[in-house]
Amino acid sequence: MSEQVSVERTHEGAVLAITLKRPEARNAITVGMYAALADAVEGAADDPGMRLITIRGQGEDFTAGNDLMDFLKEMPQPGGHEDVPVWRFLAAMAANEIPILAGVQGNAIGIGTTMLFHCDLVLAERGCRFKMPFVDLGLVPEAASSLILPRLGGRRRAARYLLLGEDFGADEALSMGLASHVADKGGLDDEFDRLIATILAKPAEAMRQTQALLRAADRSEIGERMTKENAHFAERLTSDEVKQAIADFFATRA
């Protein structure tokens, strides 16, 4: 398990608490971190006593998304996608049958936003910002976001966020259904704990079965879209557009 991903069982073993612990890099996610995240979510599925998975980011940000320097060292190749850690993680999130609660503060960039499409409840703190700049990097969306986002907010709003890469805040996320709850600035921890207590007070098996029913209708369609997105994503990585976009990205930070 990566030291930059904390995985703890809390609340007498009923909650799997996952925390991104790389605040010095705004919790940018490395390949090793993706592998740890995938292992954690996959492992929870086999535990009958697990009632809830929580995901947080340590420090000021939820996550800045992919660590591009690390990602460039181990880029997915066109062809096989099943063993790529980032896609293993997203597939595990999409297939999961345990309720997932995420708490978001600061920035949620790229996969920091798209992973939330596979959470059952998302608590966003006012002042946080969501952004999916895939096109800016010459890439295409992942996590079935090209399917789920238009269903949540409509095709025009999806175009703003995916084609133009516009960012948006907690109240906008709530209005379109990406976030289920909003906390006032500074109130994220208390509201997060309250939601955990509310979930654990419910009948466990009824919660599991209801969560499974809520996800059942879209499961195969989401899997198919993720496979298609992954293929396009891997192909785009070899393009001149991506090479130039990434070079420009690092040049602005030099």
Asked whether residue 67 is domain-assigned, the answer is: yes
Quote the pLDDT of residue 81: 58
Report yes or no on 17 lying in a domain.
yes
Is position 109 within any domain? yes
CA of residue 99 relative to chain centroid, distance: 14
| Residue 56 lies inside a defined structural domain of this protein | yes
Amino acid identity, position 161: Y
Which residue has 């259904």 as its token pair?
Answer: 177
Question: What is the pLDDT averaged over residues 41-60?
Answer: 96
Query: Per residue in 152-211, pLDDT tens?
Result: 999 999 999 999 999 999 999 999 999 999 999 999 999 999 999 999 999 999 999 999
Is 246 within a domain?
no
What pTM was estimated for this model as a whole?
0.95
Does a structural domain hold residue 219? no
In terms of phi and psi (left: phi > 0; alpha: psi -120 to 50; beta: otherwise), the region of 108 is beta
In this structure, is residue 15 part of a structural domain? yes
Whole-angstrom distance, CA of residue 187 vs CA of residue 195 = 12
Strands (E), the chain: 5-10, 15-20, 52-57, 100-104, 107-109, 121-125, 129-131, 168-169, 181-183
For 123-159, the DSSP string reads EEETT-EEE--TGGGT----TTHHHHHHHHH-HHHHH
**Phi, psi dihedrals of residue 147, rounded to the nearest 5°:** -95, -45
> Is residue 92 classed as helix, strand or coil in its secondary structure?
helix
* Nearest Cα residue to 116 out of 66, 63, 163: 63
Q: Give 250's contacts (C-beta < 8 A, 6+ positions apart).
A: 68
Least confident range of 70-74, 171-175, 225-229, 243-247? 70-74
Per the DSSP assignment, residues forming a β-bridge with 169 are 129
Q: Using an 8 Å Cβ cutoff, are 107 and 25 in contact?
A: no
Percent of all residues in the chain with a pLDDT value above 90, rounded to a whole number: 85
Task: Say how many domains are in the chain.
Answer: 1
Residue with tokens 């990602």, as numbered in its chain: 71
With bands split at pLDDT 50, 70 and 90, how would you rate the model's confidence at 252? confident
Cβ–Cβ < 8 Å for 105, 129: no
Residue 81 maps to which CATH number?
Answer: 3.90.226.10
189: its two tokens: 């921890």
Residue 9's domain comprises: 5-184
193 membership: H or E segment, kind and range:
helix 188-200
Residue 254 lies in a domain: no
Structure tokens at 64: 């800045």
Q: What percent of the chain has pLDDT over 70?
A: 97
Maximum Cα interatomic distance, the chain, rounded to a whole number of Å:
53
Q: Model confidence at 77, in pLDDT bands (50, 70, 90)?
A: low
C-alpha distances in angstroms, 8 versus 12, 161, 180? 11, 34, 24
* pLDDT tens string 116-166: 999 999 999 999 999 999 999 999 999 999 999 999 999 999 999 999 999
